[in-house]
Amino acid sequence: MGFQYTERTYIEGQELLMVKHYPHKLSWTGEGTSPSVDPATGFPIPGVPGLPQEAKARYENFKTGAVKEWRNKKNETVLQRGTIYVKKGEPTPKKFETVTVTSGEYGLMFEGEILNVYHGQLNTTIAV
């Protein structure tokens, strides 16, 4: 199991303990355009780099137990190191993009390639 993130809130002198479901920040560079050639003039048109994107997320690291095997972009077999959960409605990166997960409390938590993306009813599950 991953970290337990809680937040203490006080309402009219009563202490409430609330769970933060998405305490981390997932960031990546979106897809840009590739360079091309203008068909009328034959001049090269430079590509546009992707824009940085962010989403609220929760990263859970695998400690022990059964782990899944996936194929990466180079078609090599790699073991899944953790899972990222992203709230429904937030932007999500595509398979094989490089992402960074950071936490205000712990700093850099994960940086690497996405192995699989599954869009569920309540959230998006990303295997990393």
Give how many domains the chain has, as a whole number: 1
Residue, of 20 and 70, whose pLDDT is higher = 70
Fill in the DSSP letter of residue 93. Answer: P
Q: Is residue 92 part of a domain?
A: yes
Q: Which residues contact 50 (CB under 8 A, 6 or more apart)?
A: 29, 30, 31, 32
The domain of 51 spans: 21-30+46-127
- Residue 111 has a pLDDT of 94
Amino acid identity of residue 102, one-letter, is T
- Among 81, 119, 83, 113, which Cα is nearest to 98's? 113
For residue 87, the domain's CATH number is 2.40.10
pLDDT digits (tens, 9 = 90+) for 46-82: 888 888 999 999 998 876 666 788 998 899 999 998 9
Q: Is residue 13 part of a domain?
A: no
Look up residue 19 and give its two tokens.
Answer: 């769970």
- Residue 1 has a pLDDT of 40
Total residue count of the chain as it appears in this document: 128
Are 94 and 117 in contact by the 8 Å Cβ rule? The answer is yes
